[in-house]
Chain A
Amino acid sequence: MSKLIAQKEGVEYLLMGNEAISRGALEAGVSVACGYPGTPSSEIIESLCRVAKEGNLYVEWSANEKVSMEVAAAASFAGMRSLCTMKQNGVHVASDFLLHLAASGIRGGMILVFCEDPGALSSVNEVESRYFAPMIEIPLLEPANFQEAKDMTRWAFELSEEIKNIVMVRSVTRLSHGSGNVIFGKLPNTKRQAEFRCDGPILDPDTGLVFSAPVVYKHQLQQEKIKRAEEIFERSPFNTYEGPEKPGVLLITSSICYLYCREAISLLGVEDRVGVLKFGATWPLPPSFLKRHLSLTDKILMVEEVRPFLEERVKILAAGMAPEMGIKTFYGKETGHFPSVGELNPDLVVSALGKIMGINSYVGMPADYEKKAQALASTKNPQRDLTFCPGCPHRASFWLIHNALQMDGRRGFVCGDIGCYSMAILSPAGGFGVMKTLHSMGSGTGIAGGFGKFGQFGMEQPVLTVCGDSTFYHAVIPALINAVHHRANMILIVLDNGGTAMTGFQSHPGLTVNAMGEEAPAVDIARICEAIGVKVEIRDPFDLEETRETINRLLEDEEGVRVLILRQICGLSPEKKAAKRYEVRIDEALCLGENCGCNRLCTRIFRCPGINWDRQKKKARIDEVICAGCGVCSSICPAGAIKREEAA
């Protein structure tokens, strides 16, 4: 049994931040949990999937974030508690529904957990979705440690029911993916009955219609709810102050930066001179609570990652309080004490605080540390690309797309999309650098559909786009329909590797099993395309020559939208992992190495991590531990030196 559903009130467990969030939802009696996978949020739904049966939950990986929020909202309308999760930009996908949901209000407690990625460690953006809270006028909570991740999640449901609106809970990579001790609370024994009551007076929040009109009336209602939340936040135990009665400097912070503040104070040994005002309930910011603490000092340092969200709100409130409270000096992003991009760390807090206090006793990481480390690494370590895994079908697919475009010779290009295959944009000079645009999920097809209409303005370049199977269901379908209807001249290549591979093989609508492991009808991509009126071909990217010829034929065939599905399962998928199709070896007598006729095609251009270059022997070498046995390299070796045999 998973510890997540252990009836161990008061017992301390080591949990990952995302698991702590799941536990918090379980302690709140959540019935329905939905999400779309995205780092660093995925483990919340994944861990709930594992306890769905025992915990009597309904858990799904939805087709996209908006749908996930809609399914969760339905649960709330039926009186149950529900959770939906996504990464930071997922909120933008869901935002249209979120806007209207916040206006209609909810019934059962409903929370949106969004996990942000400051520094974009696993993203192509580092957007601050905290701003949705003031924009859409809903409360925002920011846990600052692992215990709070659980406790605030549980409390968020209560808050949601108290104000009858959705509540946003924000995590960040270091909280979601870090682990810490969490003391468990009680798990409820019963689940609510699902019933949608809709026969009452139309404006009745519990039995009437669920919609955002009359708009001005409902908007007024929504703002009263926020006022109520503000009152609750004045007394919230998650907003805390630690430090001396009259601190020389007050740090105001939230989220994981709270831990950086504590560490910085300890490193500088200024516990007696610096206080920390930590906000867990961040929006709406409680003014009285804030004023009490601003009054303790004149110097305030705002510590938060990426945008100055708290800083702006605190300054606005402080401006209003100035006649009574006096004028304070604020330090933060606008004074250049912190960057407005990337992650923070304790050293950055030490440096900013030291500057304000005139202390330079502690030197954290020297300024040139990173430079020195990189210089050292580049001499001692082999160069490592961000590249496709051994056995990855995308390597073969982009090899073929690249070759086909070179052969076609009309400077064709690929509009990229979000998945492991996004890495094709990172190799401009190598064998795969064909991807030239990369934005949000589904945008590759939308953009290609635009490019595909510009023939009348003299555009002669062939236009391709790629998407993964999960991305296809997520947001490609409307863009594809648009392109078909408008007769755009483009090719969509669906890189179907049989799962949501990048985030860890979560299920999607194309598979026969759902998130809870139940049998599910697979929605067939080819049949969807055919129904839209597109001619579809299906190839295996490991059949190099046939597939390359197909791509070239499709490029020649300049009529409307053409779809090619390249189907080959991900090399790391659970069903394929560790199962080598071929044993691969190098016949050194045949290997041409650096000579004219090869010039290390396999290790210089193809660059599968499973093949190494033996500098002494000047021959290629298979790394048997790394090699996944796909056998594609043996098809590209010009000398026939890479031998493959069916694995036993």
Chain B
Amino acid sequence: MEDGGMGQRELQREVIDTHLCTGCGACVGLCPYQTSYHDRIILLHPCDIKVGRCYMFCPRTPTNLETMRKSLCEEKDLTPEIGAVKGFYLTRATDEQIRKDAQHGGSVTTLMTLALREGIIDTAIIAEGKENFLHRGVAVNDPAEVKKRGKSKFIVSPTVAEFNRAAKGEAKKIGVVATPCQVLALAKMRLKPVPVDEGNIDKLKLVIGLFCGWALSWRGFMELLRKKTGLDAVVGMDIPPRRHTLEVYTKDGTIEFSMEEVNSCIREACHYCFDTTAEFADISVGSARLPGRWEETRIWNQVIVRTQRGDDLVQLARAGGLLEFREAPGEALDELKKSAMEKKRTALKSIAARSGSSPDLLYLDRFDPVVRMLQG
């Protein structure tokens, strides 16, 4: 950093130019200088402010993760692999229609609609799939609107930008469904590294994190898809466990892409990601990984409860009979931790390859205890 600058120029040099940008949208909507287009963050005009929120909130600028763990989680819950764990469950929506409209068990949809209905939040920020996979964050107030948007997106949506927009408006209590990079950005905002305008971040009352291994680059994936199908035909996608394929569901049936094909379209930034489970969320949700038939396990979710307010919401859903619970096999949590750790290890390798020197971990701190454990 020249002159200790922490503004747009450094954001460009350290994040955009190095392909670390996740497209989360944290730097968008705060000012007129950044915007998002397709799945990319665009610097429209130069801004010469020395210390800017764009840089401070970015999940790929240097972050003291240890401080963050200690200030946002209870220390007793912390695990090195997947962050704070207050509870670990397998759940699914009791409502069959919700399950049908959702990616897997419909737990996120259920929890978000419940939070809206109970007044825990008045606005839910969720990703909305648009034509040609051009996704965006939307703010909704009606629980029915949440239900329409339950599918996984596979391509980044600048959801945090929508939070920035909504927080400036009339919303008072906001809940966000976010990927790990987006959750990290929101967590950085919560630490208030700069005097934040009008206390907008205090409106953030609930964060539901989504497990995420990687996202696809829009342009690369569009080219891949066009080789095999028309874009209009796609109705859904999924990654079945242990099969090393991406399944694309179309009106005319399922098309499989090998992971080799898919890998070439993965967003470069995802290779440098240290977090698969959205460690700074209130609740993190992913697809279940159970022994047995995929068709049966895919309608379940793994749920990590991380904070008190997360636990309160999950218990409310249990009490209201909105979520079904199933006993998690002992090895499920271990397997999750193992794969999370594997992802972290790979990320460190990729980061060192990118920076060209193993002590230089770009946005990560080599003295972070989890980093040291992996490098030790």
Contact = CB atoms under 8 A, between A and B. Distances in A.
A429 B46 contact: yes
B39 to A, nearest CB: 11
A572 interface: no
A228 B47 CA distance: 69
B197 A597 contact: yes
B152 interface: no
Nearest to B45: A605
A285 to B, nearest CB: 57
Interface residues of A, number: 18
A596 B34 CA distance: 12
B33 interface: yes
A429 B47 CA distance: 11
A373 B217 CA distance: 55
Interface string A400-432: 001100111100000000000000000001010
B31 A599 contact: yes
A596 B45 contact: no
Nearest to B30: A597
Interface string B33-70: 10101001011111111011100000000000000000
A638 B31 contact: yes
Contacts of A402: 44
A598 interface: yes
Contacts of A407: 35, 37, 42, 44
B51 A408 contact: no
A482 interface: no
Candidate in A406, A594, A636 with the most chain B CB atoms within 10 angstroms: A406
A526 interface: no
A552 interface: yes
B33 A408 contact: no
A596 B42 contact: no
A321 interface: no
Contacts of B43: 406
Contacts of B30: 596-597
Nearest to B29: A638
Interface in A542-586: 552
B42 A406 contact: yes
A133 interface: no
A403 B33 contact: no
Contact of B31 (A403, A431, A552, A596): A596
B32 interface: yes
A270 interface: no
A599 B31 CA distance: 9
Contact of B32 (A409, A552, A636): A636
A599 B37 contact: no
A486 B292 CA distance: 60
A407 B44 CA distance: 7
A599 B42 CA distance: 17
B37 A596 contact: no
A429 B9 CA distance: 14
B53 A596 contact: yes
A391 to B, nearest CB: 21
B194 interface: yes
Candidate in B30, B42, B44, B45 with the most chain A CB atoms within 10 angstroms: B45
A596 B58 CA distance: 15
Contact of B33 (A409, A552, A594, A599): A599
A333 B215 CA distance: 67
Contacts of A431: 45
Given A403-B44, A552-B37, A596 B32 contact: no
A601 interface: yes
A431 B43 CA distance: 12
Nearest to B197: A597
Contacts of A594: 49
B51 A596 contact: yes
Interface of B: 30-33, 35, 37, 40, 42-49, 51-53, 194, 197
Q: What are the 9 A-B residue pairs with the smallest beta carbon separation, nearest first? A: A407-B37, A638-B32, A605-B45, A597-B31, A407-B42, A601-B32, A599-B47, A596-B52, A599-B49
12 contacts: A402-B44, A403-B44, A407-B37, A409-B37, A409-B42, A596-B30, A596-B52, A597-B197, A599-B48, A601-B32, A601-B33, A605-B45
Given A406-B43, A407-B42, A636-B32, 12 more contacts: A406-B44, A408-B37, A409-B37, A409-B42, A596-B30, A596-B31, A596-B49, A596-B53, A598-B31, A599-B33, A638-B31, A638-B32
